[in-house]
């Protein structure tokens, strides 16, 4: 059996796949190493809701046998990856971190899970999230919050906080999350990682438990743009089972990694939006923009006049769609209770017991926005402003190739800090919501660290189907950035895992 490097968990997706392909790494040893790290560290982080020890080892053994037999290996063969627990898995529970689905095991795999299997990835388990992906902190999980590896008192962000925490702590090489309004990008920023929200329709939503169907997209979280692009290449592509899937062949989103970005036009958001950031975020963002210019990018001032309405629009559109999508969880068709006695009482009790506070809040907001007499005043008007936001981006991309902004206004907040003030948490999404509303791709990439040692992130947004360009720019930016994304006290082989 090939020997393991001293710090194999510090290798990226690309290096792990190459090592397994050339025989310098064993898939089984690599998986066992990460399973041991999960056992050691996840008790403090609570990033996983389910770990598939037997399934992961069996998949790793199949890969090792295939390599020994001289068979060609798939592009992610043997790479240990985690999956957010709102994506259906035939061999593991899918709970959406909700009591409503506690113990539920789907009879099929989500499209992205099928893609990972076809690419040879080893799925270690399912990660924690805000219940039904509704939240920005992973505080709203029915099974307890996830902690940020950079500071265990801080949130890893949400709703894909479990996925981000597992990657940052080197418990998995990469992870899948879902992004409805920033839910892979904000956790990546809080945990010093890179995440990609693809163009709407680029990745099939088949088997992703729906939150807001016109916004939901699955995206990868990894420790570099190159690694995230490699995972995205494995899961993107047309799927006839998803009516919103773009009929477009697969693509290698890492093909331009390593190439110079001289001449790329970078639109820079300024003004009132940037002023809402804390001073360290402002300084880090300005330094990041200067770094892009030093790499040869041409800076262009851009304006998104309706960006400030993004929060209001999102928190009308998303809850409205959620109130429709979650109507099925009634204790009769889906949910934690079986019908007995008065069906109306069963329905009401199931929703009262099965859903947490944030989910119930959003269902009520959405039902109100769609109700008779309010549809035109709220939901329809929000959709019209959404069109204006999309038009703003089209005008901006006539002058630039990508748009740079902070990912979040400030670094990770303390766990529970905004639990009693949901509006304050909603306001944290000012930068990540507009690309989602416009259906555009965006990459979150590290851009610095605060004086107290917390990561900060920059967001790069592109026109539709420009993921390859975004990965290229983020890759160049990251290679030029002296940033060690290893959380303090986690990830070193000297810890015994």
Cis peptide before 159 (omega within 30 of 0): yes
Instruction: Assess whether 469 carries a catalytic annotation.
Output: no
For residues 180 and 145, the answer to whether their CB atoms sit within 8 Å is: no
Is-catalytic flag, 381?
A: no
Q: What span, in angstroms and rounded, lies between the C-alpha atoms of 161 and 191?
A: 9
CA–CA separation, 179 vs 185, rounded Å?
8
Measured in whole angstroms, how far is the alpha carbon of residue 110 from the centre of its chain? 16
Distance CA 497, CA 487 (A): 16
Cα 470 to its chain centre, rounded Å, is: 16
- Nearest-CA neighbor of 494 among 40, 145, 26? 40
Under 8 Å between Cβ of 457 and 445? yes
Helix pair 53-68, 27-45: axis angle to 10 deg? 160
Catalytic residue among 98, 137, 159, 165: 159
Q: What is the phi/psi pair of residue 251, to 5°?
A: -150, 145
**CA–CA separation, 162 and 157 (whole Å):** 9
Active-site hit among 26, 84, 197, 466: 84
**Which DSSP state fits 2?**
P
Beta bridge partner(s), residue 406: 458
Active site residue 183: yes
> How many CB atoms are located within 10 Å of the residue 293 CB?
13
Bridge-based pairing of strands 194-197 and 122-127 is: unpaired
Q: Of 172, 183, 284, 485, which is the active-site residue? A: 183
Closest CA to 157 of 456, 485, 460, 478: 456
124 and 81 Cβ atoms separated by less than 8 Å? yes
What is the spatial distance between Cα 330 and Cα 80, in angstroms, rounded to a whole number? 36
Q: Which of 231, 206, 245, 243 is nearest to 111 (CA)?
A: 206
Pairing of strands 174-179, 80-84: parallel
Sequence-ordered list of residues with C-beta below 8 angstroms from that of 65, at least 6 positions apart, any chain: none
Report the distance separating Cα 446 and Cα 222, nearest Å: 11
Tokens 């310098």 appear where?
A: 24
How many CB atoms neighbour CB 43 within 10 A? 8
Count of helices and strands (H, E) across the chain:
16, 11
The set of catalytic residues is 84, 159, 183
């Amino acid at each position: 059996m090939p020997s393991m490097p001293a710090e194999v968990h510090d290798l990226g997706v690309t290096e792990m796949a190459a090592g397994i392909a050339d025989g310098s790494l064993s898939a089984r040893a690599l998986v066992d190493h990460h399973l041991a790290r999960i056992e050691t560290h996840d008790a403090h982080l609570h990033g996983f809701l389910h770990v598939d020890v037997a399934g992961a080892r069996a998949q790793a053994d199949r890969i090792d046998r295939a390599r020994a037999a001289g068979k060609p290996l798939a592009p992610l063969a043997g790479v240990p990856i985690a999956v957010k627990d709102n994506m259906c898995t035939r061999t593991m529970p899918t709970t959406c971190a909700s009591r409503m689905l506690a113990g539920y095991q789907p009879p099929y795999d989500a499209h992205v899970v099928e893609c990972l299997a076809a690419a040879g990835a080893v799925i270690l388990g399912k990660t924690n999230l805000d219940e039904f992906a509704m939240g920005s902190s992973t505080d709203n999980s029915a099974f307890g919050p996830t902690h940020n590896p950079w500071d265990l008192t801080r949130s890893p962000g949400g709703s894909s906080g479990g996925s981000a925490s597992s990657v940052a702590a080197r418990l998995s090489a990469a992870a899948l999350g879902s992004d409805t309004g920033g839910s892979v990008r904000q956790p990546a920023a809080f945990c010093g990682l890179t995440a990609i929200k693809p163009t709407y329709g680029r990745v099939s939503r088949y088997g992703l438990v729906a939150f807001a169907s016109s916004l939901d997209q699955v995206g990868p979280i990894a420790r570099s743009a190159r690694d995230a692009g490699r995972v995205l290449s494995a899961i993107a592509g047309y799927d006839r089972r998803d009516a919103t899937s773009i009929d477009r062949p697969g693509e290698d989103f890492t093909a331009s990694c390593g190439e110079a970005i001289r001449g790329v036009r970078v639109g820079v958001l300024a003004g009132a939006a940037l002023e809402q950031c804390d001073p360290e975020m402002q300084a880090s963002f300005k330094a990041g923009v200067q770094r892009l210019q030093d790499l040869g990018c041409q800076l262009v001032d851009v304006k998104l006049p309706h960006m400030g309405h993004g929060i209001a629009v999102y928190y009308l559109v998303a809850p409205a769609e959620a109130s429709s999508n979650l109507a099925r969880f009634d204790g009769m068709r889906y949910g934690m209770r079986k019908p007995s006695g008065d069906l109306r009482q069963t329905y009401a009790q199931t929703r009262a017991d099965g859903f947490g506070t944030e989910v119930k809040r959003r269902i009520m907001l959405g039902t109100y926005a769609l109700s008779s007499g309010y549809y035109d005043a709220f939901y329809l008007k929000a959709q019209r402003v959404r069109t204006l936001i999309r038009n703003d981006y089209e005008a901006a991309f006539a002058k630039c190739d990508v748009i740079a902004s902070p990912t979040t206004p400030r670094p990770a907040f303390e766990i529970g800090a905004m639990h009693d003030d949901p509006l304050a948490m909603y306001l944290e999404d000012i930068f990540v919501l507009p690309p989602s509303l416009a259906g555009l791709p965006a990459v979150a990439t590290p851009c610095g660290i605060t004086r107290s040692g917390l990561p900060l992130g920059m967001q790069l947004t592109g026109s539709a189907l420009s993921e390859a360009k975004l990965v290229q720019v983020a890759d160049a930016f990251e290679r030029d950035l002296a940033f060690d994304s290893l959380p303090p006290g986690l990830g070193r082989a000297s810890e015994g895992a």
